[in-house]
Amino acid sequence: MKIFPAIDIKNGKCVRLVKGDFANKTEYDISPVDQARKYKDYGFKNLHIVDLDGALTGKTMSLSLIHQIVSNYNLKIEIGGGIRNFESIKKYIDVGVEMVILGSAAIKDKNFLKEACLRFPNKIALGLDARDGFLSVSGWKENSNHLTLDYLSEVNEFGFSRLIYTDINRDGMKQGPNFVGTESVANIASCPVIISGGVSSIEDIKKAKTLGNENIEGIIVGKAIYDGDINLDELVKEINA
């Protein structure tokens, strides 16, 4: 199972939110570039990055930071946050990210998602961020009227290469991921699925590996790392355990 340490960027700094609430933010001293180097030094190969400024503005606000990380470290990066046009997708691909995550723009306009998959094959990931079964958009500030599974059924054959499923109610809460909801998504998804939101301990990683669903590719770990609830030495061992 792939493990994706997370870096959320706001104003050029590493932060973590609780349930996507920008008013409930913890800011960390370490820079995004230094945090990426730390993950690299520990032996991680994948990295999940969210540009929170991008999520609010719809612009590639952290492109230069992403470029630094890609240029300096041999990490496979998936990047999301405010990517709402083909130009932004191309900018990130040009600096060398592995996958670009489309969320709000894909939910609001299914044709944009379909065209992006055609223009950038094997480079598009779909981010489904759900609260109480319904998808949220615009940095989780707006609820859509789309049921998660209904929307997925409509776009399932568009050709995206990865799906990141986040339960917003769990995100940043360290109460454990929504394994049941993730399995429901993985059971119908036409691509590998990543678990996101709520990881609280190494036991959550071990439980994810026992689910037995071959369509679940990996898991994202964020706040539990920054707060010291998960030891990085122990976490990296779970990649090949």
Between strands 13-18 and 2-10, the pairing is antiparallel
Q: 3-class SS at 211? A: coil
Number of domains in the chain: 1
Phi-psi region of 59 (alpha: psi -120 to 50; beta: other; left: phi over 0): beta
Q: Is the pLDDT of residue 144 over 80?
A: no
Residue 54 confidence (pLDDT): 87
Q: What is the pLDDT of residues 170-219, one digit of tens each?
A: 766 667 899 999 999 999 999 999 999 889 999 999 999 999 899 999 99
Catalytic residue (one of 51, 129, 171, 204): 129
How far, in Å, are 5, 44, 103, 196, 241 from residue 2 at the CA level?
10, 9, 21, 12, 11
CATH number at residue 168: 3.20.20.70
The domain of 173 spans: 2-237
Check if 233 is active-site: no
| Residue 57 banded pLDDT, cuts 50, 70, 90 | confident
2 — pLDDT class (breaks 50, 70, 90)? very high
* Separation of alpha carbons 132 and 228, rounded Å: 29
What are 7's two structure tokens?
């870096």
8 labelled catalytic: yes
| 8 Å CB contact between 123 and 95 | no
| Catalytic residue from among 8, 53, 167, 171 | 8
